[in-house]
Structure 1
């Protein structure tokens, strides 16, 4: 028994084809939107590629770009099929490729679901790659005269100001690295010598942060030097006073920014998937309703349309039986080849 069988007359078939044609155009626009979002996300990642530990994060936007382009091609073809279905003479040329086309649409819908899941799951690997990338980037902050690293200071400063963050996990990360270049240190100064000699690695460490960590909304002038020294500033208590630098770590800020973007794209892809499933089902009804005309020579005659010719269980059983038959056929061919080789020997 066919699954979800519906009776059609000419009026219903025409209305279905017209509605599907319109839905296919919406699907094309949705494909363009997915492509644009993937391209935008790729550009956003490229902006801060120096802070990424690897290029694996570009895999998802590349998939989105490909899926968007594929959506435009498939839906344009589907729209043309629906338009030609209004004329039985034009529709004849599509009959031979319609079944493979529907199978391609089925696999495409599966690809869309996988893509949406990848968008939602990207937050975890992105957090790891940003953690390592930001850590390395902060180490190179002082290397403004080193080829390949001379723009790292500018990149980090702009990022901290844009995302209102400081450091990797928090502002204290700057205390653990030397972010001031040796060329700007006075090595004849006792303070500089004491700081360097007190450190095992011979680095100039201080409880200070770059200017880009300052919160411009704070009424107090920015305290970016000797942050943990209460006596160095008037009416200042490090542990109780609200600091006028950004407390949020940049890893958390970037993951939240990119994660929110990917969640939005993932929801969009799921909506596109629902739209694609709808037009695929509608196209199957168009195909079956035109193939089961009571009088093929009379386009106004009644017909029946369905999603599957049999029930889901029966269809699954048939597919498994065909796969087993193919497997047995391959075994027989291999056995025949072995016998042939033995005979020749």
Structure 2
């Protein structure tokens, strides 16, 4: 029994073909949107690449770019097919091509869905890449005279200003690394030498942060040095009063930014997927309705259209049986060493031990 069978008159078939022609051209635009979203996401990841450990972060944008390109091509041809299928005489030349087209489009819509899901599932990889990447970037903040690292200071400063964040997990991350280059330290100063000797790693550590951590909205001048020393500043208690530096870590800030970006992209792609699925459904109805017109032999007659000619269970069993038969035929041909043009698919029922002689 056919699944979701619908009866079509000649007028309804014509209107369906015209609507699908329009929807396929709209789908070309949605394909461009998917391509643009994938390209935008790839650029955003590329912009922050120096703050991330390289990983499989480009899989989702690459998928969207590929799917968007394929969508433009498939829907361009789909529009041409639907326009011709409004006429039974023109449908004949597309008859053999239409079913493979529908199968390919079905797998394409699955890829669109996969691209949307990838946008929602790459958070863990992104968080791990940001954590390790920011940790290394902060470590090299002071290396302004070393090729390959000289840009990291400005990158970190601009990041902290733009995203209103400080450090990796928070401002205390700066207390654990030497972020001031030795070339700007007076090595003849006893205080500087004592700081170098005060820890086993021999680093110049202090309870201070770079200027880019300062909150410009604070009414008080920025306290970026001796943050935990209450006596160093007038009327100051770092444990009770609100600090005038950014408290939030840059990893959280960047993760929230990419999270919102990927959720928006994922939702947009999911909506496009539903739209593509509806277009595919319409094309399937048009194909089956027009094939039944050819069977009836009267272009003016009513015809039935459906999604599946048999029930879902029967269709699945039929396809599985076809795959099994093809597999058995392949085994027979492998054992015999050559294919027999006189042996058709039912020969698979002989089994490997009863292969008829060539």
What is the TM-score of this pair, normalised by structure 1? 0.95
Give matches, 1:104-143, under 5 Å: 104-143=104-143
CA drift at 1:121: 0.5
Aligned to 1:217: 217
Report the alpha carbon displacement of residue 296 of structure 1 after superposing the two structures with TM.
5.7
Are the counterparts in 2 of residues 171 and 247 from structure 1 also a CA contact under 8 Å?
yes
Provide Cα deviations, 1:51-99, integer angstroms capped at 9, x if missing partner: 1100421221111111111111111111111111123333222111111
SS of corresponding position for 2:107: helix
DSSP-derived class of the 1:205 partner: coil
Q: Is the Cα–Cα contact under 8 Å of residues 55 and 125 in structure 2 kept in the other structure? A: no
- Within 5 Å, which residues of 2 pair with 1:1-345? 1-293=1-293, 298-337=298-337
Is contact 2:164-2:213 (8 Å) kept? yes
Paired residue secondary structure (1:304)? strand
Which shows bigger deviation, 57-66 or 147-156? 57-66
How big is the alpha-carbon RMSD for the aligned residues of Structure 1 and Structure 2? Answer: 1.5
Q: Distance in 2 between matches of 1:59 and 1:315?
A: 34
Instruction: Work out whether residues 165 and 249 of structure 1, in 8 Å CA contact, stay in contact via their aligned partners in 2.
Output: yes
Distance 1:167 1:94 in 2: 62
Match for residue 342 of structure 1?
Answer: none
CA distance in 2, matches of 1:210, 1:305: 69
Aligned 8 A contact 2:88 2:294 in 1: no
Once the two structures are TM-superposed, the CA of residue 294 in structure 1 deviates from its matched residue by 6.8
Going from structure 1 to structure 2, the CA distance change for 1:143 and 1:294 (only over 3 Å counts) comes to closer
Instruction: State the number of aligned residues.
Output: 339
SS state of the match for residue 156, structure 1? helix
Deviations along 1:164-205, one digit per CA (max 9) or x if unpaired, are 100000000010000000000001111101100001111000
In the alignment, structure 2 segments of 5+ residues that lack a partner are 339-351, 353-358
In 1: Cα distance, 2:271 partner to 2:218 partner: 43
The separation in 2 between residues aligned to 1:191 and 1:309, in whole angstroms, is 86
| Matched-pair contact (CA < 8 Å) for 1:140–1:152 | yes
1:76-128 CA-partner distances (Å, limit 9, x unpaired): 11111111112333322211111111110111121122211111011110000
Deviates more, 1:239-248 or 1:57-66: 57-66
**Distance of 1:127 and 1:204 partners within structure 2:** 29
* TM-fit CA distance, 1:237: 0.6
User: How far apart, in 1, do the equivalents of 2:219 and 2:237 lie?
Assistant: 16
Aligned residues of 2:55 and 2:129 also touching (Cα < 8 A): no
Could you tell me how far 1:25 is from its partner in structure 2?
A: 2.0
CA separation in 1, counterparts of 2:93 and 2:149? Answer: 60
Query: Residues 294, 194 of structure 1: CA spacing in aligned structure 2 closer, same or farther, 3 A cutoff?
Result: closer
Question: Any unmatched runs of 5+ in structure 1?
Answer: 340-345
Contact 1:21-1:82 at 8 Å conserved across structures: yes
| TM value normalised by structure 2 | 0.92
- Is residue 109–residue 277 contact of structure 1 (8 Å, CA) maintained in 2? yes
Which segment is superposed worse, 171-180 or 51-60? 51-60
Detail structure 1 runs of 4+ shifted over 4 Å in the superposition: 294-297
Q: CA deviation at 1:18?
A: 1.4
